[in-house]
Structure 1
């Protein structure tokens, strides 16, 4: 993969941050990082908007893209 180093920043996590006004390399997906705090635990969340939502699991009785995670379980999407 070719990256124009002049417009790309290595964020020391092994990832590259490409400015929003720059095109992505071929076959790359842009990820948006968010954080969420539940009680005293903070979680980092990566969102890929290009993901196809129709291919995701639909939990019975819940709207699209909403899930109830059973107690003592965790949820992972991706």
Structure 2
């Protein structure tokens, strides 16, 4: 299943993960997490993604180049 954003004109249209398999961002292995973090590193909307995760209390996955633990989740 690929990620295609949430609507026309929002920040997700410019996301580096646009059209990618979302499973990479909800990885169960360090190797897969490393791939997702590499993609996030060069993303032009990384800050917006992090803000989205914080606002919506996303407790799982990589958002804005940060793991759930880095965002304060156990």
Given the two structures, how large is their TM-score scaled by the length of structure 2?
0.23
* Structure with greater contact order relative to length (CA < 8 Å, sep ≥ 6): 2
Which protein has the bigger helix share? 2
Which protein has the bigger strand share? 1
Given the two structures, how large is their TM-score scaled by the length of structure 1?
0.22
